[in-house]
């Protein structure tokens, strides 16, 4: 099963693996930065499929509002596979933040992707508040990230400010 229990928070995260292909590498012999977003998108779809099929939980409709990506270490041609872990770091009334970490074969984080997703009413195309059941279901995968766990770098602070602004905008959109 691709779900791993976090005993500290009694929540879960999802992990899937993806083989690296020669087309994932650029002329500098490391994975092209655009590929990380593809890995995250693919992993998000696998996460949703696994939640639907294995846990029999309804997935609310959403759209991606904002994405930030950090690349602390490159993936080199010596890597044949990556692991992508997915979990929520925050839940708002209309939006949530999914964090995905792409790790190399030694478990080192090569990329961290934070994606703000907004609930949507498919009939009107407008944002909507998450239902109580939506929040309960997403809460199964909520692992809040404390300031201590974040790097103190100015890049991380800027990323956090941008993400906070995106969440605030998403929660105020109608």
For the whole model, what pTM was predicted?
0.79
Please tell me the predicted confidence (pLDDT) of residue 163: 61
pLDDT in tens, 37-57: 999 999 999 998 888 787 778
Expressed as residue numbers, the domain containing 27 is: 3-172
pLDDT in tens, 68-103: 999 999 998 888 899 999 999 999 999 999 999 999
Kindly state the tokens that stand for 24: 């994932």
User: Predicted confidence band at 152 (pLDDT cuts at 50, 70, 90)?
Assistant: very low
Q: What is the DSSP string of 148-172?
A: TTS--SHHHHHHHHHHHHHHHHHHH
Taking 80 as the threshold, does the pLDDT of residue 5 lie above it? Answer: no
Q: Residue 108 is part of a domain; what is its CATH number? A: 3.10.129.10
Kindly state the tokens that stand for 125: 């195309």
Please tell me the predicted confidence (pLDDT) of residue 159: 58
Number of domains forming the structure of the chain: 1
Please tell me the predicted confidence (pLDDT) of residue 63: 94
């Amino acid at each position: 099963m691709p779900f791993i229990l976090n005993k500290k928070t009694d929540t879960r995260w999802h992990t899937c693996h993806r083989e690296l292909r020669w087309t994932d590498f650029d002329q500098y012999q490391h994975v092209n930065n655009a590929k990380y977003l593809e890995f995250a998108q693919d992993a998000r779809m696998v996460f949703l499929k696994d939640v639907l099929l294995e846990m029999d939980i309804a997935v609310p409709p959403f759209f991606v509002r904002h994405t930030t990506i950090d690349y602390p270490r490159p993936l080199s041609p010596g890597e044949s596979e990556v692991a992508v872990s997915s979990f929520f770091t925050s839940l708002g009334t209309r939006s949530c933040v999914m964090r995905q970490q792409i790790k190399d074969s030694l478990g080192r984080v090569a990329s961290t992707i934070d994606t703000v997703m907004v609930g949507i009413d498919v009939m009107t195309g407008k944002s909507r508040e998450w239902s109580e059941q939506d929040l309960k279901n997403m809460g199964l995968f909520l692992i809040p990230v404390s300031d201590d766990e974040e790097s103190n770098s100015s890049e991380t602070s800027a990323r956090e400010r941008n993400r906070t602004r995106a969440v605030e905008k998403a929660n105020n959109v109608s």
